[in-house]
Structure 1
Amino acid sequence: MIDTSSRFTPFVGTDRSGSVAHALGFTGLGVAYSRLAARTMLDALDGVPVPGFLGDRPVPFPPEPVRYLGVQATRAALAREDRTGRRGPWLKALDRLGVGFNS
């Protein structure tokens, strides 16, 4: 299993009661983010608000077969951007949703 999120960056949060913290979506960035995530989780358990870049939950991945179609459309759009140097409407829409292909 690969721990990833739709924006390909980690996020931190707590359960509804605020008594259990979680950090998810590391996507291979675990070493770099683990200390920041741990300190942020401890702060969150103390009631400190989680900063926006770590606290905003990403858009969930859609179910199959929508996921497959979305991945194929995104791959084609990224290849087209590589060839032309211009972002098409599909990638612009994903950017507005915060999916994370504008890095």
Structure 2
Amino acid sequence: MMLDLLAGERTERTELEMVRRKPLPFPPEPFAWTGIALTKWSLARADAHGGRRNLWLKAMDRLGLGFDS
């Protein structure tokens, strides 16, 4: 596909939408890092406060992403 693009040829591969469409201007990594940092902070806070979970951990539990095992 890349060689076709460099050669300026229109092929079945170069007409794919994933080739024609521009990617997102930024990767989702900053959001993932923020979520991980918030979760780590929330878990440490719950440990320090006798297991009382904050709003973030309660929301994650409701979504099935919690750490309440």
Same fold (TM over 0.5): yes
Q: How far does residue 100 in structure 1 lie from its aligned partner after superposition? A: 2.9
Secondary structure in structure 2 of the residue aligned to 1:82: helix
Q: Which structure shows the higher strand fraction? A: 1
Whether 1:89 and 2:55 are equivalent positions in the alignment is yes
> Does residue 1:100 correspond to 2:42, yes or no?
no
Gaps of 5+ in 2: 1-27
Higher relative contact order (CA 8 A, sep 6+): 1
Please give the root-mean-square deviation of Cα atoms over the aligned residues, in Å.
Answer: 0.9
Q: Post-superposition, which runs of at least 4 consecutive aligned residues in structure 1 deviate over 6 A?
A: none
Deviation at 1:64, TM superposition (A): 1.1
1:27 match: none
Q: Is 2:39 the partner of 1:74?
A: yes
Question: How far apart are residue 87 of structure 1 and its match?
Answer: 0.6
CA-to-partner distance for each residue in 1:35-88, whole Å, 9 max, x for gaps? Answer: xxxxxxxxxxxxxxxxxxxxxxxxxxxx31111000000000000000002111
Displacement of 1:94 after TM fit? 0.4
